[in-house]
Chain A
């Protein structure tokens, strides 16, 4: 009962926060210097052309009219038309969303699997050299600067040894081939995913390793493990079948949040690997003053993150019975 009331209250909060974010976004973009038309510095464009363009984008209207128009758009779910592409914003974002989800979901799941696997070992052999090595290694990988690593990876695996395509998501040769089937196309995408995946996993597995390690250490102190030991079960069974599944719970929560954040976390990866996802569109729209597209992209991210936060709060309530709402 209390939980339901809590969820309801949080939903109202989310609505309020969403409205605030929406307004702040609008103001931030309008306050930012420059507008989409002033970027076009071709001197053959007459001031009249500029005025016409501003008019066609609705930028000649007073700010509050624009704001009401924007609110109306958000409420009706029609986020307006991108200045740059001249197409409905929703269509563009929905077009890019699957690409982002594909890359980042895969990378998070792979890093979590690797992190859980290594974290388990590190905790099991706590204090030994392998534990210290893994902890420091994980920290080091986690702190690598992503675009820097990505470019070095591209140079080495894409160019120097040439095993993988340099960037992009698909190779035109495969796709324009008249008898390319679904399998060939899917394999092609997979092949392009290897390099970004390697980069992302290398950077992200560390945090899962550390979470898993400390959670496992806690679990190992619990009574049921001692009971299992007393029963004379062999160590490997205890580790893999008793301790690990329970210890992995925080990792699951963490994966949940990461999935929500990954929707924007990909700006750097997508830019460097030319991966046609939301993050790249976000960078592009901000640098080109494409307000409708940038606003919609940020709102999409905001809503996903807000909802994920709610889900995590509820999950915490289940996981830690001490928390009462």
Chain B
């Protein structure tokens, strides 16, 4: 009994000592502590499709070009200058910078050619489509690469040139070995990388699985001390330490407590009121390249009728969604291309019902549908032009409209989409449409919509749209209307297909822009998807620790920030 008591008291003492120790061990180091929402998947760049691995690997493996944070133009990165296009021979010539790999060996054109051939020969998923139109890669000298294209391909500039480069020395033997196996791609993707060799500002020091990942400043980074694109590059921090937080409210607590300096993950509107009151925390709000939309099944009634889709577009109050559901942290959308993607965005599209009151939206939609031949037992607008509860809408064929469902992800996966679904249901019912919103587990939803095409309408979103508008063709081209294909709506329009096909091979950005705008116009007219909104990215950092964050589309977590962020100098410290 007594001995146990003593043992307990010893334990208490130990904990007290440790607590005191922990209080004293206020980190004075120059390490930037970053919170992540999930463990990075892998250090193998070819497997890394998840956002969290990319947050680490994008600081190690570098592409030839990157985007300017303000203008989103191409900026030569591993390349020395802009690519030179020879229209006659269909070649692009790229001059390379004198950069070094993190093991000290020089980065050469051979590495670029190796990377390209590796992707081509293994058909590496996600990259192979950006390289398969390249016929040949020539290396006239160690710092020049010439790409020969099979046919004109617009995505060369926005896709191929953004491929992260890997070192021949590191990967040649891996590739050799993978080729001898039964499944070469799987062997390559599942190759375990312990020490990634890159050309970026940081290198891997240590990865304690499930706990933290430690990056150190690379002494061979080509940008250190240089001015690129008007910015003097560092990095000015010696260490980056990533810690994983299972849930974001705990990460927010850690940020408030000072255990981390930055949470690299968008913050839910629920936290914002509290965080903006904290003296030591700074919030950054940035736009996102995203598209959240309601899509329809054009393969059967009732949404095979464009008039009905247009009426629905009139009924949806995007201002309500943005101001109430997103709590103001977002913008409404009218095109499938986000407005921030300035070059490709078509600004002159119809804005169905924008700015109208509820009543006028309903009246306009009613008029549209009456003209299209829809009838009601009790119409939503009575003879005097007043609103009344509508009953039993009938299709132009005279049949009663069957009830239809709007599938949404569940509220826990994305509360915004789930609630938008509910609100849209209410608005449609005002017109007498038998709409039922149904939250559904995310994978079941994809199965229904993408796999089986068994649905009426659905709300989904793309959170990380590429800046290249190639996806507009993917989403609506009739050849993609198949199980698991991207054309989930089943939109078939030969005129759209023709324009879309031309836009793929159009090398002149100006001419391609015209085509892409033309495509957006057709979509806005036929409305297989009604674009709804696009949430903003809100991120939080400690302002008493680091400064110099670079804001960009998608937020402050980008290579420019990591090359420029500096510790805050405290007076007297």
On A, residues with C-beta under 8 Å from B are 32-35, 38-50, 52-53, 55-58, 81, 84-87, 95-96, 99, 113, 117, 151, 154-155, 158-159, 162-170, 172-176, 187, 190-191, 194, 240, 270-274, 276, 280, 289
Cα–Cα distance between A86 and B49 once the two chains are bound (Å): 12
- In the complex, what's the smallest C-beta–C-beta distance from A8 to chain B, in angstroms? 40
B203-211, B424-432, B509-517: which lies at the interface: B203-211
Q: Considering only CB atoms, which chain B residue lies closest to A113 in the complex?
A: B4
Cα–Cα distance between A44 and B444 once the two chains are bound (Å): 22
Cα–Cα distance between A313 and B256 once the two chains are bound (Å): 51
Q: By the criterion CB–CB under 8 Å, are A56 and B125 in contact? A: yes
Q: Is B86 an interface residue (CB 8 A)?
A: no
**Known contacts A44-B470, A159-B253, A167-B246; is A95 also within 8 Å of B208 by CB?**
no
Q: Considering only CB atoms, which chain B residue lies closest to A96 in the complex?
A: B210
Quick one: which of A48, A162, A173, A271 contacts B247, CB cutoff 8 A?
A: A271
Cα–Cα distance between A316 and B484 once the two chains are bound (Å): 55
Q: Is B173 an interface residue (CB 8 A)?
A: no
- A sample of 6 inter-chain contacts (CB < 8 A) reads A32-B443, A38-B443, A38-B447, A56-B186, A168-B212, A175-B212
CB-contacts of B12-38 with A (<8 A):
14-15, 18-19, 21-22, 25, 27, 29, 31, 33
Cα–Cα distance between A174 and B214 once the two chains are bound (Å): 12
Quick one: which of A40, A96, A155, A175 contacts B49, CB cutoff 8 A?
A: A40
Quick one: which of A85, A176, A276 contacts B206, CB cutoff 8 A?
A: A176
Q: Considering only CB atoms, which chain A residue lies closest to B50 in the complex?
A: A84
Cα–Cα distance between A225 and B485 once the two chains are bound (Å): 77
Q: By the criterion CB–CB under 8 Å, are B27 and A173 in contact? A: yes
Q: Is B392 an interface residue (CB 8 A)?
A: no
Q: By the criterion CB–CB under 8 Å, are B254 and A56 in contact? A: no
Q: By the criterion CB–CB under 8 Å, are B19 and A164 in contact? A: yes
Cα–Cα distance between A129 and B490 once the two chains are bound (Å): 72
- In the complex, what's the smallest C-beta–C-beta distance from B26 to chain A, in angstroms? 10
Q: By the criterion CB–CB under 8 Å, are B183 and A56 in contact? A: yes
Q: Is B123 an interface residue (CB 8 A)?
A: yes
- By a CB distance below 8 angstroms, the chain A residues around B191 are 86
Cα–Cα distance between A81 and B44 once the two chains are bound (Å): 14
CB-contacts of B102-147 with A (<8 A):
123, 125-126, 128-129
Quick one: which of A33, A50, A159, A191 contacts B257, CB cutoff 8 A?
A: A159
- In the complex, what's the smallest C-beta–C-beta distance from B182 to chain A, in angstroms? 10
On B, residues with C-beta under 8 Å from A are 1, 4, 14-15, 18-19, 21-22, 25, 27, 29, 31, 33, 41-42, 44, 47, 49, 123, 125-126, 128-129, 159, 183, 185-186, 189-192, 205-206, 208-212, 214, 239, 241, 243-247, 249-250, 253-254, 256-257, 259, 441-444, 446-448, 450-451, 460, 462, 464-466, 468, 470-471, 474-475, 480, 482, 484-486
- In the complex, what's the smallest C-beta–C-beta distance from A275 to chain B, in angstroms? 8
Cα–Cα distance between A177 and B49 once the two chains are bound (Å): 31
- By a CB distance below 8 angstroms, the chain A residues around B18 are 187, 190-191
- In the complex, what's the smallest C-beta–C-beta distance from B13 to chain A, in angstroms? 13
**Known contacts A32-B443, A56-B186, A159-B256; is A170 also within 8 Å of B208 by CB?**
yes
Q: Considering only CB atoms, which chain A residue lies closest to B18 in the complex?
A: A191
Cα–Cα distance between A274 and B250 once the two chains are bound (Å): 9
Cα–Cα distance between A190 and B247 once the two chains are bound (Å): 22
Q: By the criterion CB–CB under 8 Å, are A41 and B462 in contact? A: yes
Q: By the criterion CB–CB under 8 Å, are B189 and A289 in contact? A: no
- By a CB distance below 8 angstroms, the chain A residues around B484 are 38, 47, 50
- By a CB distance below 8 angstroms, the chain A residues around B257 are 158-159, 162, 166
Cα–Cα distance between A289 and B442 once the two chains are bound (Å): 12
Cα–Cα distance between A45 and B241 once the two chains are bound (Å): 31
- By a CB distance below 8 angstroms, the chain A residues around B159 are 44
A-B pairs, top 5 by smallest CB distance, nearest first, are: A276-B210, A34-B443, A274-B246, A33-B444, A172-B212
Q: By the criterion CB–CB under 8 Å, are B462 and A172 in contact? A: no
Cα–Cα distance between A296 and B511 once the two chains are bound (Å): 54
- By a CB distance below 8 angstroms, the chain A residues around B27 are 173
- In the complex, what's the smallest C-beta–C-beta distance from A179 to chain B, in angstroms? 14
Q: Considering only CB atoms, which chain A residue lies closest to B124 in the complex?
A: A52
Q: By the criterion CB–CB under 8 Å, are B247 and A272 in contact? A: yes
- By a CB distance below 8 angstroms, the chain B residues around A169 are 210-211
Q: By the criterion CB–CB under 8 Å, are B1 and A33 in contact? A: no
Quick one: which of B212, B462, B464, B470 contacts A170, CB cutoff 8 A?
A: B212
- By a CB distance below 8 angstroms, the chain B residues around A280 are 210, 246
**Known contacts A43-B462, A43-B474, A191-B22; is A81 also within 8 Å of B190 by CB?**
yes
- In the complex, what's the smallest C-beta–C-beta distance from B351 to chain A, in angstroms? 24
- In the complex, what's the smallest C-beta–C-beta distance from A212 to chain B, in angstroms? 15
Q: By the criterion CB–CB under 8 Å, are B486 and A43 in contact? A: yes
- In the complex, what's the smallest C-beta–C-beta distance from A201 to chain B, in angstroms? 12
Quick one: which of A47, A166, A172 contacts B254, CB cutoff 8 A?
A: A166
Q: By the criterion CB–CB under 8 Å, are A49 and B128 in contact? A: yes
Cα–Cα distance between A289 and B446 once the two chains are bound (Å): 13
Cα–Cα distance between A117 and B475 once the two chains are bound (Å): 66
Q: By the criterion CB–CB under 8 Å, are A49 and B126 in contact? A: yes
Cα–Cα distance between A55 and B183 once the two chains are bound (Å): 9
Q: By the criterion CB–CB under 8 Å, are A47 and B485 in contact? A: yes
Q: By the criterion CB–CB under 8 Å, are B447 and A33 in contact? A: yes
**Known contacts A33-B447, A43-B486, A172-B211; is A84 also within 8 Å of B41 by CB?**
yes
Q: By the criterion CB–CB under 8 Å, are B189 and A86 in contact? A: yes
- By a CB distance below 8 angstroms, the chain B residues around A175 are 206, 208, 211-212
Q: By the criterion CB–CB under 8 Å, are B446 and A38 in contact? A: yes
- In the complex, what's the smallest C-beta–C-beta distance from B179 to chain A, in angstroms? 14
Q: By the criterion CB–CB under 8 Å, are A155 and B253 in contact? A: yes
Q: Considering only CB atoms, which chain A residue lies closest to B441 in the complex?
A: A33
- In the complex, what's the smallest C-beta–C-beta distance from B473 to chain A, in angstroms? 10
- By a CB distance below 8 angstroms, the chain B residues around A86 are 41-42, 44, 47, 189-192
Cα–Cα distance between A48 and B485 once the two chains are bound (Å): 10
Cα–Cα distance between A272 and B247 once the two chains are bound (Å): 7
Q: By the criterion CB–CB under 8 Å, are A55 and B245 in contact? A: no
- In the complex, what's the smallest C-beta–C-beta distance from A64 to chain B, in angstroms? 19
Q: By the criterion CB–CB under 8 Å, are A276 and B451 in contact? A: no
- In the complex, what's the smallest C-beta–C-beta distance from B310 to chain A, in angstroms? 24
- By a CB distance below 8 angstroms, the chain A residues around B441 are 33
- By a CB distance below 8 angstroms, the chain A residues around B253 are 154-155, 158-159, 166
Pick the most buried of A48, A117, A173: most chain B CB atoms within 10 A of its CB: A173
Contacts A95-B209, A271-B247, A280-B210 known; 18 new A-B pairs at CB < 8 A = A33-B447, A34-B443, A38-B446, A38-B484, A45-B126, A47-B485, A52-B128, A53-B125, A56-B125, A81-B190, A84-B41, A151-B249, A159-B253, A170-B211, A172-B208, A172-B212, A174-B25, A191-B15
Q: Considering only CB atoms, which chain B residue lies closest to A46 in the complex?
A: B129
Q: By the criterion CB–CB under 8 Å, are B15 and A194 in contact? A: yes
Cα–Cα distance between A175 and B239 once the two chains are bound (Å): 13
Q: By the criterion CB–CB under 8 Å, are B209 and A276 in contact? A: yes
- By a CB distance below 8 angstroms, the chain B residues around A56 are 125, 183, 185-186, 189
- By a CB distance below 8 angstroms, the chain B residues around A38 are 443, 446-447, 450-451, 484
Q: Considering only CB atoms, which chain B residue lies closest to A42 in the complex?
A: B464
Q: Considering only CB atoms, which chain A residue lies closest to B48 in the complex?
A: A86
Cα–Cα distance between A34 and B446 once the two chains are bound (Å): 7
Cα–Cα distance between A170 and B14 once the two chains are bound (Å): 17
